Amino acid sequence: MTKIWLLDIGYKPGTSEIHLWGIKDSGERILAVDRSFRQYLYTTYGDKKMAEEELRKFHNLRLEKVTGRIFGREIDLLKIFFEDGSEDVNKLANRLRRRGLRVFEDDIRLSSKYLIDQPVKPSSWHDVELSEHDNGVSEISSINFVSNEPIPELKVLSLHMVALPTKGSPNPKKDPIILMTLVDSMGVTYLEGEESKILQRFVEYVQERDPDVIAGFDSNEWMWPYIMERAKHIGVSLSVGRGGSSPHRSLYGHVSIEGRASLDLKDMVDEIPELQLESLEELAEYFGLRKIEEFTELTDPELPAAWRQNLQLVKNYSRERAEAIYHLTTQEILGYAIALSSLTGIPLDHVLTAAVGFRVEAYLMKEAHKRGEVIPPRRERRPSGYVGGYVWKPKPGLVEDVVVLDFKSMYPNIMVKYNVSPDTLIHSGEEIKDFYEAPDVGHRFRKEPPGLYKEALLRLIQYRDSIKERLKKVDQERKKILRAQEKAVKVITNAMYGYAGWVGARWYVKEVAEAAAAWGRWIVKTAAKIAEELGFEIVYGDTDSLFVKNIPEKTSLLVESIQRRTGVEIKLEKHYVRLLFTEAKKKYAGLTRDGELEIVGLEAVRGDWSRAAKKLQKEIIEVVLRELDVEKAERIWSRRTRELKEGKVPLRELIIWKKITKPLDEYAVLAPHVVAAQILRDKGFRVDVGGKIGYIVERGEGKIRDRVSPFPFVNKENVDLEYYVEHQLNPVVERILKVVSQNFAKPGSRKMGLRRFMS
DNA sequence: TATAGGCACGTGGAGCCCTGTCT
DNA sequence: AGACAGGGCTCCACGTGCCT
């Protein structure tokens, strides 16, 4: 018996031969082949003769009569195995469908199916029965999951690449790679000189050091495709895979390297909503590695000159990024990716790239399989919305001493409590006596048996509790692993409700999400009613939270009453000394009891306002909330306005960043950032969907979009300072002062204060 | 290879009215 | 007097990014 940690999984195309790349507990890296698995699909066989007729046309099929469940309903099925080891299920599935039969699980890739079907988990330890063959290949005769701990020592290589653009962004058709910087446990290696030499040495380096993980930033969409095209162009064989194969584009735009995990840290950016620029530098700052300003800056237009005149600058630029990638990977991201991979069953290689919905789905597929549920096919559906959470309208102005009550994991708890699940929904005509009925929308769910969502959620909750228990007892190093696991579990748990309402989900049933939302509204409104009955004043509330004016001697009674009546756990989450509400929902600022200033939803926390405006708004809020001094706030306002008008504000603070969310020619309206992006594109720069465009507004007549200038082609001389006063500084300040001036400014001075800068 | 809905808010675009100018 | 271009205005859709 051998112990193997599963790093990567693949299969030989056209066959049922599963390739498992693993790490033995001795540290040896091996490829083990499993030839025992067979691809299969299910079909209904309403007309038995017809099914048999079709099946006779195929050789080497093995049939099994089984009973499965689809959305909780029992159904008789034929399970059809492809005994000849082929994995071509499409042909058979299509034929059966053409005959009007229902077919299931033909749309799941072989390696995914293996992971769902077998006691095998990626990024985990297994007991394996191996037989060695002469050709060095090990064959598996049995494999069993053991544990997802400990995590073996993985060899990580990080990679940063610089190409020399002739015009705009580097173009892989003509612009060579001039530098590659590699970082691993041995330190930094620069590959420079002739491009073919760089690539050859890169391949040698990978073969020699044989890393398990290769990490980059924007490597799936940009770096790997670039390297691959250059290698092809100059005729270098890019055999960096463990079997000697080249990298290849696999599913969903991901680039796979055989036997290794290729990670793109850019995928991590989506998981951290706090990030506004979504850059590597910002990611590094977020994890406390290095501040954005401490990175050497080098934009594409500056690169050619720097390459000629200041080689060291270019090398520093590249090294800093390669090091950041290495440290982020080893210290922050790899552990999380491993935990997520082991939990969802998605191989390490893919798990960061996979969108949230697909992670949840991967987890559900395994749960469903355990319960004897057949996995429903993915289907095209028309999106149709439903009513979501309830939001109170706040009273604008200041309010003191407010406590916030939060329902803990409201939607997961609702789904567990009321057994809300696609397989427990009662359809019209069904006569079930024992049911829960959702308020408002009237959907009914049977109380027994527990549904797929309920069981999946309970298992997750249980797992998280056990992690929390263990966290109390273990040492620092193990704590880190457990925290990563906890985070992974949390991500999946919290996404379950959203998944339920996603039209692309295999288990999409609109009534499920709609009912969960309805129960949510009922619970939070019931809580509000209880609070009011007890004499509390509701200040605000959003979906699963209630802001109430504090009555210290009654808060614990309030919490108890709400929990008793609604049956859902509620927590006293926050205590604000003072809160400021604007006229809008979802926008407020507060001072907590520990003296922290919190800003929610306002421009100061939005990424699409200039830094100048954001900083000023924060200053104003700070002075208003902490010092209750509106006049001082107005003085700051006028000082900042003056500074801006006198040109004392750095250009960088005036840049407005916005995301490009679709191809430029699909925009119906030419917004300023779209025009800025067009200008960049026309200069030969890459404008990617999902990329951020920075621009400033220049002086001139007419529409804003007709006078934008994209970063980095901005010139301080041309900035329309008046625009920044009128459309950036003034609105964000006025939004705040408008709601407090009557309370705090002396009579008479208020209007003065506000009007002074308005016209 | 899109987890959901609710919400604010700047900007552009369409359409309307008004007004001044030309015929 | 009537036609019409163009400015100013209103209203709404688009687009982004936030909150829970």
For the entire predicted model, the pTM comes to 0.93
> Looking at residue A189, what DSSP letter applies?
E
Three-state SS for A132? strand
What band does A751 get if pLDDT is binned at 50, 70 and 90? very low
Å separating the CA of residue A542 from the C1' of nucleotide C20: 6
Nearest partner of A606 among A275, A286, A279, judged by Cα: A275
- A266-284, pLDDT tens digit by residue? 999 989 999 988 999 999 9
Q: Does A752 have pLDDT greater than 70?
A: no
Q: List the single protein residue with the shortest CA to C1' distance from C19.
A: A586
Å separating the CA of residue A699 from the C1' of nucleotide C7: 21
Å separating the CA of residue A667 from the C1' of nucleotide C13: 12
Q: Average pLDDT in the A683-689 region?
A: 93
Distance CA A412, CA A541 (A): 19
Å separating the CA of residue A670 from the C1' of nucleotide C4: 29
Q: Does A154 have pLDDT greater than 90?
A: yes
Q: Point out the nucleotide closest to A404 (alpha carbon to C1′).
A: C20
Compute the 3-state secondary structure of chain A and give helix, strand, coil in percent, each to the nearest 5: 40, 20, 35
Q: Which long-range contacts (CB under 8 A, 24 or more apart) does A300-309 make?
A: A300/A165, A300/A168, A300/A169, A300/A170, A300/A685, A301/A712, A301/A713, A302/A712, A303/A162, A303/A164, A303/A165, A304/A164, A304/A165, A304/A166, A307/A164, A307/A178
CB atoms within 10 A of CB A309: 9
Residue A356 pLDDT: 95
- Poorest-confidence range of A9-18, A106-115, A659-668? A9-18
* DSSP β-bridge partners for residue A571: A406
- A14-71, pLDDT tens digit by residue? 888 999 999 999 999 999 999 999 999 999 887 667 667 777 777 788 888 899 999 9
Residue A746 pLDDT: 33
Q: Point out the nucleotide closest to A391 (alpha carbon to C1′).
A: B6
Strands A103-104, A40-43: parallel, antiparallel or unpaired by DSSP?
antiparallel
Three-state SS for A123? coil
Residue A51 pLDDT: 67
Q: Does A136 have pLDDT greater than 90?
A: no
Q: Point out the nucleotide closest to A668 (alpha carbon to C1′).
A: C14
Distance CA A580, CA A399 (A): 7
Å separating the CA of residue A702 from the C1' of nucleotide B20: 22
Q: Does A155 have pLDDT greater than 90?
A: yes
Å separating the CA of residue A723 from the C1' of nucleotide C16: 20
Q: Average pLDDT in the A635-639 region?
A: 96
The phi and psi torsions of A138 (rounded to 5 degrees) equal -100, 135
- A196-239, pLDDT tens digit by residue? 999 999 999 999 999 999 999 999 999 999 999 999 999 999 99
Distance CA A700, CA A698 (A): 6
Mean pLDDT of chain A: 93
Q: List the single protein residue with the shortest CA to C1' distance from C18.
A: A601
Å separating the CA of residue A621 from the C1' of nucleotide B8: 19
- Name A745's Cβ contacts closer than 8 Å, sequence gap at least 6: A630, A631, A753
Q: Give the length of chain A.
A: 759
Residue A56 pLDDT: 75
Rg for chain A, CA atoms, rounded: 30
Q: Point out the nucleotide closest to A253 (alpha carbon to C1′).
A: B1
The top-scoring range by mean pLDDT among A49-58, A530-539, A703-712, A738-747 is A530-539
Distance CA A656, CA A610 (A): 5
Å separating the CA of residue A356 from the C1' of nucleotide B2: 9
- A408-465, pLDDT tens digit by residue? 999 999 999 999 999 999 999 999 999 999 999 999 999 999 999 999 999 999 999 9
3-state secondary structure A201-239: HHHHHHHHHCCCEEEECCHHHHHHHHHHHHHHHHCCCCC
The amino acid that residue A716 corresponds to is: K
Q: Which long-range contacts (CB under 8 A, 24 or more apart) does A243-249 make?
A: A243/A31, A249/A225
Distance CA A442, CA A419 (A): 14
Å separating the CA of residue A288 from the C1' of nucleotide C19: 26
Å separating the CA of residue A734 from the C1' of nucleotide B14: 30
* Exposure string over A455-487, b if 16+ CB within 10 A, otherwise e: bbbeebbebbeebeeeeeeeeeeeebbbebbbb
Q: List the single protein residue with the shortest CA to C1' distance from B1.
A: A252
Domains contained in chain A, CATH given: 2-147 (3.30.342.10), 156-349 (3.30.420.10), 378-592 (3.90.1600.10), 620-757 (1.10.132.60)
- Name A342's Cβ contacts closer than 8 Å, sequence gap at least 6: A121, A122, A123, A124, A148
Strand B bases with any atom < 7 A from protein Cβ: 1-13
pLDDT above 70: percentage of residues in chain A: 96
Q: Point out the nucleotide closest to A588 (alpha carbon to C1′).
A: C19
Strand C bases with any atom < 7 A from protein Cβ: 13-20
Q: Point out the nucleotide closest to A254 (alpha carbon to C1′).
A: B1
Considering any atom of strand C, list protein residues whose CB lies within 7 Å: A 273, 276, 389, 542-545, 586-587, 600-601, 605-608, 657-662, 667-669, 671, 673-674, 692
Q: Which long-range contacts (CB under 8 A, 24 or more apart) does A65-68 make?
A: A66/A42, A68/A42, A68/A104, A68/A372, A68/A373, A68/A374
The phi and psi torsions of A660 (rounded to 5 degrees) equal -90, 120
Three-state SS for A190? strand
Å separating the CA of residue A669 from the C1' of nucleotide B10: 13
Å separating the CA of residue A599 from the C1' of nucleotide C16: 19
Q: Does A668 have pLDDT greater than 50?
A: yes
Å separating the CA of residue A338 from the C1' of nucleotide C2: 79
Q: Does A743 have pLDDT greater than 70?
A: no
A241 exposure class (CB count in 10 Å sphere: 0-12, 13-18, 19+): buried
Q: Does A163 have pLDDT greater than 80?
A: yes
Å separating the CA of residue A601 from the C1' of nucleotide B8: 9
The helix-helix angle for A630-645 and A730-744 (nearest 10°) equals: 160
Å separating the CA of residue A706 from the C1' of nucleotide C1: 40
Å separating the CA of residue A602 from the C1' of nucleotide C20: 15
Q: Point out the nucleotide closest to A543 (alpha carbon to C1′).
A: C20
Q: How many helices (H) and strands (E) does chain A have?
A: 23, 27
Q: Does A647 have pLDDT greater than 70?
A: yes
Q: Point out the nucleotide closest to A706 (alpha carbon to C1′).
A: B12
Q: Point out the nucleotide closest to A585 (alpha carbon to C1′).
A: B7
Residue A742 pLDDT: 64
Q: List the single protein residue with the shortest CA to C1' distance from B3.
A: A498
Residue A47 pLDDT: 67
Considering any atom of strand B, list protein residues whose CB lies within 7 Å: A 251-252, 350, 353-358, 360, 383, 385-389, 391, 495, 497-499, 501-504, 513, 517, 543, 582-587, 669-672, 703-706, 727, 731, 735
Q: List the single protein residue with the shortest CA to C1' distance from C17.
A: A606
Residue A759 pLDDT: 30
Å separating the CA of residue A501 from the C1' of nucleotide B1: 17
Q: List the single protein residue with the shortest CA to C1' distance from B11.
A: A671
Q: Point out the nucleotide closest to A542 (alpha carbon to C1′).
A: C20
